[in-house]
């Protein structure tokens, strides 16, 4: 079967840069789907995207669709015809489904059967529908119309190239008749560009100052930006998302170094970086110490004969933005940070839970409580908690919301607050996402935990629990943040007590009955997904969850110990024994006996198990106290032999009530040893 290259390029007005990659990948995926449905094979694929075009190149595409056959089975003959041989509704319905008369249906077999051979069509006749369907299925939230046309797309279309080998596909899509003429760079080469063949597409456009391959543009921008930064004795900040967006804004990238006045460096560099990246799409430069340099890199979309004009224009544009940041910073510093709390008394946190200032006061008390229990400074934590929301009322954060916490840090330092207090004002929001940075200070950790617990308790306390699709207060993220801080920073905090403290701080604003249990259940439920992501079996998690440890750190230490225990050769047998013991003890009427008396032993294996349990108890008690759970379970693994021997030789449910009760007590002692770490009966 012959094959030829296929190219489709849709030319438009400037496409939304943040969506360009998504649109391009979806365009390719749609065409691939259409080719697969049509049974057309090809060798390779490529997608190209630039500000004014989306293109797909398919190499060695079949030029003819293969013939195919359809075989459909219908109802059995006895159901298809009545006693007189007349067709039933089942037969007529099957024929209608196949789109033919009943006489065209094969009636010779046990079932009605319809077979049809369908001749393949020329690929050229199939491609317009495939391309049009792909464009219609692009993920475009809001389509637009232009002029008097009825067609809709993300931006007005300007041209369409569709080539199968040297042949132009005869079609009209989105009001554009297909041809072989594309367009060059809007300024360098505004006239039409003839595409000689699909394989010459990139080269033809390159000659017209258009780099259609987004990967090539991205690489040029990245490499040239790094070179320019090195010349400035700095390092460029190049966030991947910003690099993608800049790549999608230019067809012919030309990075240039610009500068701004050094006086602006007195403003927090985070504010300057934010405005230059978000508003101007610039790459900022840092020196060897991570301090902002008074220079930045812009990426022009033109190769100018006088680049200084472009540089001057960008410097002129950025100056008012930096001046605004400087003004807000100076205005805010005219008063102490704590004064801004007065404004927060009139800012509602949540209608039923009071103002943002009320929250800050609660966080202050809870942070002090937590700090005292994790080895931190309670007075610093209380102070940081009280100041934690002040910067929300500042001019700086009002203009640059991303500066919340960061602005507070700078203002607190300006006021002479302890550095830990200042750092905590930013660290309270950590971690800001999955895998993000954690608080570095104990004061910051205390405030971060307190802020999250306060939100969890408050929102749960007014019944606004998150649903599967809605979590407006980011309670899941808050719970995960608490767990990450406690586990990864090795902080031993009893969440039972901390949550209870938080509940009490709300007073009558929340429904306290069962609230602590609901919040704790929600928090520890988040660990299940965390462990699943780490490859920990859910049974391991459940074995620890059954004991309901209040400390997330303790919980994690137990989980890691059980996970290690499961790799021991004795683990499976001991888990099965614990399950058997658990079932036996659950059937005991009344309370399970606890006093083991050797006088009721009538079998040597009872003496052996009792002795082994006593020795193990003495060995693991100090281990458990020191939370050496790995060592504890490893020591308990040695009980397998006497346990197996006991169950092989001893009937637990003896007729003598005293003997039976004594054996229950012995097994309860055995189970109690393992319950010091986890309920391993759930591992079986």
* pLDDT 10s digits, 610-642: 899 899 999 999 998 899 999 999 999 989 989
Do residues 123 and 168 touch, judged by C-beta distance below 8 A? no
My answer on whether omega of the bond before 431 falls inside 30° of 0, hence cis, is yes
Q: Decide which of 444 and 658 is more confident.
A: 444
Reported as a single tens digit per residue, the pLDDT across 27-48 is 999 999 999 999 999 999 999 9
pLDDT of res. 86 = 86
**Joined tokens for residue 47:** 């997608």
Tell me the two tokens of residue 111. Answer: 């079932």
Q: Is the pLDDT of residue 1 over 90?
A: no
Identify the CA nearest to 22 among candidates 47, 43, 5, 4. 47
Domains of the chain: 3-65+122-206 (3.30.70.260), 68-118 (no CATH), 214-332 (no CATH), 338-535 (1.10.3210), 562-683 (1.10.730)
The mean pLDDT of the chain is: 93
- Give mean pLDDT, residues 79-89: 85
- Which pairs with CB-CB distance under 8 Å and at least 24 residues apart come from 279-283? 279/321, 280/314, 280/317, 280/318, 280/321, 281/242, 281/245, 281/246, 281/249, 282/258, 282/314, 282/318, 283/225, 283/229, 283/236, 283/237, 283/238, 283/242, 283/246, 283/255
Instruction: Please write the tens of the pLDDT for every residue from 561-600.
Output: 999 999 999 888 888 888 888 888 887 777 777 788 888 8
Burial environment of residue 305 by CB neighbours within 10 A (0 to 12, 13 to 18, 19 or more): exposed
Q: What is the structure's pLDDT at 684?
A: 66
């Amino acid at each position: 079967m012959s094959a030829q290259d296929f190219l489709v390029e849709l030319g438009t007005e400037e496409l939304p840069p943040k969506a360009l990659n998504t649109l391009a990948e979806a365009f390719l995926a749609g065409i691939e789907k259409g080719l697969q449905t049509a049974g057309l094979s090809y060798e390779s694929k490529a997608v190209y995207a630039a500000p004014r075009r989306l293109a797909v190149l398919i190499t060695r595409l079949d030029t003819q669709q293969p013939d195919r056959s359809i075989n459909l089975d219908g109802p059995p003959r006895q159901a298809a015809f009545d006693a007189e041989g007349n067709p039933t509704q089942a037969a007529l319905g099957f024929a209608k489904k196949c789109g033919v008369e009943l006489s065209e249906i094969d009636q010779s077999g046990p079932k009605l059967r319809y077979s049809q051979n369908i001749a393949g069509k020329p690929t050229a006749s199939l491609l317009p529908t495939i391309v049009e369907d792909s464009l219609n299925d692009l993920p475009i939230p809001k389509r637009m119309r232009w002029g008097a046309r009825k067609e809709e797309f993300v931006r007005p279309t300007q041209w369409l190239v569709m080539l199968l080998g040297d042949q132009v596909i005869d079609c009209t899509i989105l009001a554009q008749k297909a041809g072989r003429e594309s367009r060059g760079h809007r300024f360098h080469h505004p006239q039409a560009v003839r595409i000689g063949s699909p394989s010459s597409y990139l080269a033809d456009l390159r000659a017209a100052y258009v780099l259609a391959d987004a990967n090539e543009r991205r690489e040029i921008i990245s490499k040239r930006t790094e070179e320019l930064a090195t010349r400035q004795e700095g390092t460029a900040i190049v966030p991947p998302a910003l690099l993608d967006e800049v790549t999608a804004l230019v067809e012919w990238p030309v990075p240039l170094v610009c500068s701004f006045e050094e006086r602006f460096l007195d403003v927090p560099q985070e504010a300057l970086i934010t405005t230059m990246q978000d508003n101007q799409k610039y790459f900022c430069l840092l020196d060897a110490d991570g301090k902002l340099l008074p220079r930045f890199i812009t990426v022009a979309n033109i190769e100018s004969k006088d680049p200084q004009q472009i540089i001057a224009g960008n410097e002129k544009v950025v100056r008012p933005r930096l001046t605004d940041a400087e003004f807000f910073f100076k205005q805010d510093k005219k008063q102490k940070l704590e004064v801004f709390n007065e404004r927060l008394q009139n800012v509602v946190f949540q209608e039923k839970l009071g103002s943002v200032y009320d929250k800050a006061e609660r966080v202050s008390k809870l942070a002090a409580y937590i700090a005292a229990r994790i080895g931190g400074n309670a007075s610093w934590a209380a102070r940081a908690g009280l100041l934690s929301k002040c910067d929300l009322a500042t001019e700086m954060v009002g203009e640059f919301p991303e500066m919340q916490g960061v602005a507070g840090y700078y203002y607190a330092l300006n006021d002479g607050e302890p550095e830990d207090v200042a750092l905590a004002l930013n660290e309270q929001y950590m971690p800001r996402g999955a895998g993000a940075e954690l608080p570095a200070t104990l004061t910051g950790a205390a405030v971060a935990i307190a802020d999250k617990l306060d939100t969890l308790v408050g929102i749960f306390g007014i019944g606004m629990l998150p649903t599967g699709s809605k979590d407006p207060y980011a309670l899941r993220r808050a719970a995960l943040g608490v767990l990450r801080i406690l586990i990864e920073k090795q902080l031993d905090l009893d969440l039972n007590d901390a949550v209870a403290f938080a509940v009490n701080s709300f007073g009558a604003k929340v429904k306290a009955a069962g609230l602590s249990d609901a919040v704790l259940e929600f928090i520890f439920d988040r660990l299940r997904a965390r462990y699943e992501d780490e490859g920990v079996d859910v049974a391991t998690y459940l074995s620890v969850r059954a004991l309901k440890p209040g400390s997330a750190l303790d919980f994690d230490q137990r989980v890691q110990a059980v996970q290690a225990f499961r790799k021991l050769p004795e683990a499976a047998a001991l888990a099965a024994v614990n399950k058997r013991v658990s079932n036996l003890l659950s059937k005991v009427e009344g309370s399970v006996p606890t006093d083991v008396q050797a006088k009721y032993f009538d079998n040597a294996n009872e003496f052996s198990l009792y002795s082994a349990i006593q020795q193990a108890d003495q060995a693991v008690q100090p281990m458990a106290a020191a939370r050496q759970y790995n060592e504890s379970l490893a020591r308990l693994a040695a009980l397998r032999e006497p346990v197996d021997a006991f169950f092989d030789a001893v009937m637990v449910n003896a007729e003598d009530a005293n003997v039976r009760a004594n054996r229950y007590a012995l097994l309860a002692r055995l189970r109690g040893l393992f319950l010091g770490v986890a309920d391993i009966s759930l591992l079986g």
